[in-house]
Structure 1
Amino acid sequence: MQPEFTEDELSGLRTDAAGMPLGPRRVLPLEDEPSSLVARYLFPTERYRGEWKRHWIHLTTPLLIGTAATFALGYLSGFLARQEVSGLTTVAVIIWLGVMGWVAWQIGDWYFDRFILTNKRVMVVNGIITRKVGMMPLLRVTDMKYEQSPLGRMLNYGTFVLESAGQDQALREVKHLPNPNELYLRVVEEMYEPQAVEARLGKDAEDAKADDGA
């Protein structure tokens, strides 16, 4: 039997990293409509709930490598200039351009990497040239949790771990997702209280139309 969560129980989970209560939780999708990147992977009868890029911490390694390569090139260029070895300077610049090209590729890959939630499934879409699309039906999820390191609690990101019986674990671990508590509650509500989600979203849409009319 699947557990049921009341609104009061869910509100008790709305705390920040220090355990302090948060204000009203945003429950509408981050965007009213899916981006063009995501829309092509949704079928007409499923309802879009939101999409998230990974936290900027995901880019730490390539940015550090790019910065270190730039400083190294500056030092090496000055040293080689004093030695009057122009050929090696050209080689150093070519290597630096290769490193910066790799950094740009990593940034582009981060931009096109999305975690997607609908009323039917969770998905991960990534890849610039070779596109990869992984999905897990919400009905197949047997266990879900998120983990936050001390740095993750400070910067508000975490790793989602999803378990599914009889399912290839392509989405078992999704790292560096932003606002993990908010996202966790969204997925839990969609799994256990889908009717309540539909009712609330419908009410919010009606309130928005009333405000526009006013």
Structure 2
Amino acid sequence: MGSPSGPPFDPDDPDRERRERDTEPIPRIGPDDGPGYGAGPGLSDGPSLSDDVGYGDGPGYAGEGRSGRAWIRDPEAAYQPPQISEDELAGLRADATGATPRRVLPLEDEPSSLVARYLFPTERYRGEWKRHWIHLTNPLLIGVAATFVLGYLSGFLAGNNVGALTTIAVLLWFAVMGWVAWKVADWWYDRFILTNKRVMVVNGIVTRKVAMMPLVRVTDMKYEQTPTGRALNYGTFVLESAGQEQALREVKNLPNPNELYLRVVEEMYEPQAVEARLGKEADEAKADDGA
């Protein structure tokens, strides 16, 4: 009698034996049927491949074996966060005693009266700098040279009873010294200013000049140091804005150029870090006052 889903049974069918042979189930070889991959001729005795192990001794995949989903990594299971020791972090922190130097110095609290008039209320003040004393080199050298030359000349003229020329030499010396004093006063009132919105240069005694550039428009910034600048710790800042000539493009003879560069870059790219540092310093100051 034939199967319900197949053709009727025919004992005289010549192809019946071939069909039965072709449809016989393939016997499964268990783990105990022989060593290695299985028993039988032509099979090696190497290690068996099961669904419970990966390749060799290396790390396995996220799945439990090599079949099916074993080739797909689980990103969350495979990712291991980097392990950073406390010794490695120690170099990045300033300790409680302040022994570890800070690359960016603490920010000033309040602007001077000279600068405050140029800031609007919602602007956050970050610091102001006078130019390096090297900026006064030429006026001071001229003053020293004039003192020696005109002093010698006035003495020589006075010894020869040339009173009119002596008076002129003395008056000329006073004029040179007045010019030197003017240059020193101009250096004192010349300030480079940084806020959270812009950089500014304010200079002039009688005629005040205020130049500024918004930080969002600064496309390139660099500083240059000559060998003398590296020895005396000053440099020239160059600021570019969309390739255009600006009133504030080159600022010469600024002190501590590396520290100033880091402060400007921090304000441009990490303003949240600046605010967090300022808040922490304010909290510490309040705690010290309360203690």
TM bracket (short chain):
0.7 to 0.9
Q: Is the 8 A contact 2:131 2:255 kept in 1?
A: yes
What is the CA–CA distance in structure 2 between the aligned matches of 1:27 and 1:97, rounded to whole Å? 42
Asked if 1:96 corresponds to 2:173, the answer is: yes
2:236 counterpart (138, 142, 159): 159
Counterpart in the other structure of 1:171: 248
Asked if 1:188 corresponds to 2:265, the answer is: yes
Q: What amino acid does structure 2 have at the position aligned with 1:206?
A: D
Report the 3-state secondary structure (helix = DSSP H, G, I; strand = E; otherwise coil) of the residue aligned with 2:170. helix
Over 3 Å off, 4+ runs = none
TM-score (norm 2): 0.64
Displacement of 1:207: 1.3
Counterpart in the other structure of 1:137: 214
What is the CA–CA distance in structure 2 between the aligned matches of 1:35 and 1:200, rounded to whole Å? 22
C-alpha deviations, 1:13-39, integer Å up to 9, x for none?
xxxxxxxxx82234422x311001100
Displacement of 1:212: 1.9
Report the 3-state secondary structure (helix = DSSP H, G, I; strand = E; otherwise coil) of the residue aligned with 1:123. strand
Give the structure with higher Rg (CA).
Answer: 2
Q: Is the 8 A contact 1:146 1:159 kept in 2?
A: yes
Q: What amino acid does structure 2 have at the position aligned with 1:147?
A: E
Q: Is the 8 A contact 2:104 2:262 kept in 1?
A: no
Counterpart in the other structure of 1:23: 101
1:117 counterpart (191, 194, 201): 194
Counterpart in the other structure of 1:18: none
TM-score (norm 1): 0.87
Q: Is the 8 A contact 1:58 1:176 kept in 2?
A: yes
1:46 counterpart (123, 132, 140): 123
What is the CA–CA distance in structure 1 between the aligned matches of 2:141 and 2:240, rounded to whole Å? 33
What is the CA–CA distance in structure 2 between the aligned matches of 1:171 and 1:73, rounded to whole Å? 39
Percent identity among equivalent residues? Answer: 80
Counterpart in the other structure of 1:70: 147
More helix by share: 1
Report the 3-state secondary structure (helix = DSSP H, G, I; strand = E; otherwise coil) of the residue aligned with 1:34. coil
C-alpha deviations, 1:36-76, integer Å up to 9, x for none?
11000001111000000000000000000001000011110
Q: Is the 8 A contact 1:28 1:49 kept in 2?
A: no
Q: What amino acid does structure 2 have at the position aligned with 1:110?
A: W
Counterpart in the other structure of 2:109: 32
Asked if 1:55 corresponds to 2:55, the answer is: no
Considering Cα pairs closer than 8 Å and 6+ residues apart, tell me whether 1 or 2 has the greater RCO: 1
Counterpart in the other structure of 1:5: none
Aligned residues, how many?
195
Q: Is the 8 A contact 1:52 1:116 kept in 2?
A: yes
C-alpha deviations, 1:162-209, integer Å up to 9, x for none?
001165411111001000000000000000011111111111111121
Kindly report which structure 2 residues correspond to 1:195-210, keeping only aligned pairs within 5 A, or say none.
195-210=272-287
What is the CA–CA distance in structure 1 between the aligned matches of 2:244 and 2:113, rounded to whole Å? 28
Moved more, 196-205 or 126-135: 196-205
Q: Is the 8 A contact 2:104 2:263 kept in 1?
A: no
Counterpart in the other structure of 1:17: none
